[in-house]
Amino acid sequence: MLATRIIGLIVVLGLAAGGWAGSRGTGAASGSGGASPSATSGIRAITRPSADIIQSFVQPGRIAGIHFKEGDAVKAGQALVQQDDAAEQVLVAQLRAQSEDITQIRASDASLAQKKVDLQKLEKAAANNAATALEVEHAQLDVTIAQLSLDLARFEHEQAGRKYQEQKIRVENMQLKSPIDGYVEKIDVEVGESVNTNTEVIRVVQIDPLWIDAPVPLAQATDLKVGMTARVELAESGKRGSIGEGRISFVGTVADAASGTLRVRIEVPNKARRPAGEHVLVSF
């Protein structure tokens, strides 16, 4: 009798568990049917800036000025951060004056002209037996030395010009300029702070277009070509929606053996300035 009651209890519990599982299955099916097909399919990836540049100075110095603040839009070539270059500007002026000075060249040229005149006179005198051969040789040597002095003066003048250009480059390097059109994402220094060559100073990003590096299964990636379009949608729960179409700009040549995927880069226009770092679904 006891065994019969135990068996009956097991049967009742089994039927109840089956009914509960069936109700859960029905709810899950209805939930998945309500989601858009794109939300349940596609390749998960994360958007990132098409350019992300952290700039540092190439020489130590003191920060004299910061011309933008975080979040500001900047154009390529605009000065962002300036080091104190007062002493370097004085040196630039000195080297410029030296590069423009031709006094030594003129003096050497005049000396050469005089030595040539002296040689001509001695050669005429020697022809009339009024000068010795030794005197003529000395005069010829003086002309050679004067010519070398002129060549040296010209060389030093060229070197002064190169030193001036070098110093101008050094001064230009004391100013960080934006290499891209983008936005100032982060500034890590303050005016008056001294920085070294390895100090991160400012970060500039470009988010139009956005880049998406998607790990595409090899079977699908082999059919993809640069220039083809891709559909990009938000993947975060509660934020699903279309971002738009992108264009394939790169298809990798080396697959990831562990996952069996190939890296494919999609370039997506971003006039609306969506932030980089969103989770998306990519479909081709």
Q: How confident is the model at residue 32 (pLDDT cuts 50, 70, 90)?
A: very low
Clarify whether residues 89 and 168 are in a common domain: yes
Clarify whether residues 240 and 160 are in a common domain: no
Last residue of a domain, one of 173, 193, 225: 173
Looking at the domain assignment, is residue 57 inside a domain? no
The predicted structure's pLDDT at residue 235: 80
In the chain, how many domains are there? 2
CATH code: domain of residue 259? 2.40.30.170
Q: Report, as an integer, the average pLDDT of 104-109.
A: 97
Contact by Cβ (8 Å): 266, 249 = yes
Inter-CA distances, 42 with 20, 233, 281, Å = 32, 9, 5
pLDDT-above-70 percentage for the chain: 84
Clarify whether residues 90 and 167 are in a common domain: yes
Last residue of a domain, one of 173, 189, 220: 173
Looking at the domain assignment, is residue 13 inside a domain? no
Contact by Cβ (8 Å): 202, 184 = yes
Clarify whether residues 165 and 89 are in a common domain: yes
Q: Which residues contact 266 (CB under 8 A, 6 or more apart)?
A: 211, 212, 214, 230, 232, 246, 247, 248, 249, 282
Looking at the domain assignment, is residue 274 inside a domain? yes
* Calpha distance 186→261 (Å, rounded): 34
Looking at the domain assignment, is residue 159 inside a domain? yes
Clarify whether residues 131 and 92 are in a common domain: yes
Q: How confident is the model at residue 243 (pLDDT cuts 50, 70, 90)?
A: confident
H or E element that contains 177 = strand 175-177
pLDDT at 40 over 50: no
pLDDT at 188 over 90: yes
pLDDT: which is higher, 24 or 169: 169
Locate 189 and state its tokens: 């220094």
Domain housing 215: 37-50+204-283
Q: Sheet containing 175-177: give its strands across.
A: 175-177, 79-83, 61-66, 194-195
Clarify whether residues 169 and 213 are in a common domain: no
SS3 146: helix
Last residue of a domain, one of 130, 151, 173: 173
Q: What is the pLDDT of residues 129-182, one digit of tens each?
A: 998 999 999 999 999 999 999 999 999 999 999 999 999 999 999 999 999 999
Looking at the domain assignment, is residue 65 inside a domain? no
Closest of 81, 66, 67 to residue 174, by C-alpha: 81
Clarify whether residues 162 and 238 are in a common domain: no
Looking at the domain assignment, is residue 12 inside a domain? no
pLDDT at 270 over 70: yes
Clarify whether residues 221 and 159 are in a common domain: no
Inter-CA distances, 242 with 112, 151, 270, Å = 81, 72, 12
Could you tell me what percentage of the chain is helix, strand and coil, using 3-state DSSP and rounding each to the nearest 5? Answer: 45, 30, 30
Looking at the domain assignment, is residue 7 inside a domain? no
Locate 135 and state its tokens: 């005197």
What single letter denotes the amino acid at residue 62? R
Looking at the domain assignment, is residue 197 inside a domain? no
